[in-house]
Amino acid sequence: MQEIQINCQLTLRPPIRQPPSDMGFPPVFGGAKEKGAAFPKPKDERLDPTVMPTTEGFFGEYGGAFLPPPLVPIIDEIKAKYLELKEDPSFWAELRLLEKHFTGRPSPILHCERLSEKVGGAQIYLKREDLNHTGAHKINHCLGEALLAKKMGKKKLIAETGAGQHGVALATAAALVGLECDIYMGEVDMAKERPNVVRMKILGANVIPATHGLKTLKEAVDSAFGAYMEDPVTQFYAIGSVVGPHPFPMMVRDFQSVVGREAKAQFKELTGGKLPDTLVACVGGGCNAIGLFTAFLGDEKVKLVGVEPSGTDLKVTGKHAATMTLGTPGTIHGFKCLLLQDEAGEPAPVNTCASGLDYPGVGPQHCYLKDIGRVKYETVTDTECVDAFMSLARDQGIIPALESAHAVAYAVKLAKTLPKTDTILVNLSGRGDKDVDYVVENFGAKYGVSVPKYEMPKAEAALASAA
Ligand SMILES: Cc1ncc(COP(=O)(O)O)c(C=O)c1O
């Protein structure tokens, strides 16, 4: 019998559920009932975000829930509760209120006039998810997941984190609603993204290092899954992207889709009713990209581009994380997707300068959108990413997260090939505070940035309490 490895300790059986037999309608998409927020109904039903996924959680051949037997009733319960809340206007009202007063939504759109002028082609706009409370788009789904967990009577939120942004956002949401929080993070990422480790601890979360394998995002997911298996009843695994077993890819997408709904209305207002010609977003698990794309899936004239890392060498396994470009169908962490894998079906090693993109799998809806040709997936190297990081800082006054800098890098390349009348809207998924030490240490010399290591002064109060 073929078996699916989740991690060294966890062995899963093949699909518990049968493949989908229908393209069943899930209930109305969260938030779509809000006044003025209805989704367009595309002619092609397969592009309708209110149709996907099937009731079994499949987007085309991808997705589903490949679970060990003890998890089946637990995940079913989460699905049932989410589907109930999805139809409950008071749940969305509560979430919208938090988005406004806690996150600071709507996030603005900025026309990067100086950068566009310098690039010399299409006009580049940014959807400023970096300005959200906690500094990235991750807070959008963390608030939703934390509310759901609280309503289910769970005691603790647990999750993986790569760049630390999902971890910080979840620790924040846990503090807001009053739940305990454990975050699993690869040891390598803990060193790279130290400021976020410090933030999570200040927020009261436990940060637990993943010390096996490459000690990055995949290993953090392995560890979080292992911990979840030990107590799935009182813990809620708040998955950090549109990945994992159904209903997580759908549910996280629903929470993130506020980004695209806002962007569509804002862009029209800015440009006298036009839509952007192209949307660009980086793709790790894929939640910021799907969050921006969802409201535009039915607008066939709007080109959609997901950008993933080609790292330092797209031709060498272990030197990139270009899942959409080079992956083949496989199963990881309870769902089917395009996967970078070896001949035995084990996830292949991945590497990129952006910890949040360092994952061998990807959200199932992205795989489907690639198959039907609705979204194009492109790659950007580490060098191009760091160039874009510095360029956005110096030519526009914004320091982006390294993940988001992948999208900026592609937008700059694309803009150069297009007329000045074209528009590109980039999802600036996060800010770069977490990355500045890593960038300066590794690439500072190339850009003339050198910062000596200063000694931390002792606080009077600390000296007094030590005495
Ligand atoms: C700022 C930022 N952008 C993008 C990502 C990638 O995740 P996703 O593809 O799910 O948006 C991360 C992940 O940590 C992130 O921190």
From the number of C-beta atoms within 10 Å of its C-beta (0-12, 13-18, 19+), residue 429 rates as buried
The span from the CA of 233 to the CA of 406, in Å, is 38
- Listed as ranges, residues in the chain with pLDDT below 70 are 1-51
Q: Is the CB of 95 under 6 A from ligand 1?
A: no
Q: What's the confidence (pLDDT) of residue 209?
A: 98
Phi, psi of 92 (to 5 degrees): -70, -35
Mention every residue, 6+ apart, whose C-beta is less than 8 A from residue 3.
11, 12, 13, 14
Domains and CATH numbers, the chain: 109-134+257-446 (3.40.50.1100)
Options 8, 101, 137, 142, the catalytic residue: 137
Q: Find tokens 């010390």 and name the residue.
A: 211
Q: Is the CB of 357 under 6 A from ligand 1?
A: yes
Q: Which SS3 state, helix, strand or coil, does residue 216 take?
A: coil
CA triplet 310, 292, 117: central angle to 5 degrees? 70
The span from the CA of 335 to the CA of 82, in Å, is 19
Q: What's the confidence (pLDDT) of residue 63?
A: 97
Minimal-distance CA residue to ligand 1 atom 1: 430
Q: Which SS3 state, helix, strand or coil, does residue 51 take?
A: coil
Q: What is the pLDDT of residues 356-403, one digit of tens each?
A: 999 999 999 999 999 999 999 999 999 999 999 999 999 999 999 999
| Active site (annotated) includes residue 287 | no
Enumerate the β-bridge partners of residue 58.
Answer: 63
**Two structure tokens written together for 190:** 């803990």
Cα of 407 from ligand 1 centre, angstroms = 11
Nearest of 217, 248, 230, 234 to residue 9 by alpha carbon: 230
The span from the CA of 178 to the CA of 147, in Å, is 10
Cα of 21 from ligand 1 centre, angstroms = 33
From the number of C-beta atoms within 10 Å of its C-beta (0-12, 13-18, 19+), residue 131 rates as buried
**Two structure tokens written together for 149:** 């967990």
Q: What is the pLDDT of residues 5-62, one digit of tens each?
A: 333 333 333 333 322 322 222 222 222 333 333 333 445 555 565 567 998 999 999 9
Q: Find tokens 């000694």 and name the residue.
A: 455
The span from the CA of 252 to the CA of 177, in Å, is 18
Mention every residue, 6+ apart, whose C-beta is less than 8 A from residue 242.
248, 249, 252, 253, 256, 285, 286, 287, 290, 363, 364, 365, 366
Return the exposure string of 222-260: e unless at least 16 CB atoms fall within 10 Å of the residue's CB, then b: bbbbbbbbeebeebbbbbbbbbbbbbbbbbbbbbbbbbb
Q: Which SS3 state, helix, strand or coil, does residue 47 take?
A: helix
Minimal-distance CA residue to ligand 1 atom 13: 356
Phi, psi of 400 (to 5 degrees): -90, 160
Minimal-distance CA residue to ligand 1 atom 5: 356
Enumerate the β-bridge partners of residue 236.
Answer: 157
Q: What's the confidence (pLDDT) of residue 16?
A: 32
Q: Is the CB of 241 under 6 A from ligand 1?
A: yes
176: number of Cβ within 10 Å: 18
Cα of 69 from ligand 1 centre, angstroms = 30
The span from the CA of 62 to the CA of 339, in Å, is 11
Q: Is the CB of 165 under 6 A from ligand 1?
A: yes
What crossing angle do the helices spanning 248-256 and 138-151 adopt, rounded to 10°?
120
Q: Is the CB of 171 under 6 A from ligand 1?
A: no
| Active site (annotated) includes residue 111 | no
Atom of ligand 1 nearest to the CA of 289: 11
The span from the CA of 218 to the CA of 72, in Å, is 22
Q: What's the confidence (pLDDT) of residue 465?
A: 86
The span from the CA of 16 to the CA of 75, in Å, is 12
Cα of 455 from ligand 1 centre, angstroms = 32
Q: Which SS3 state, helix, strand or coil, does residue 68 take?
A: coil
Options 112, 142, 282, 287, the catalytic residue: 112
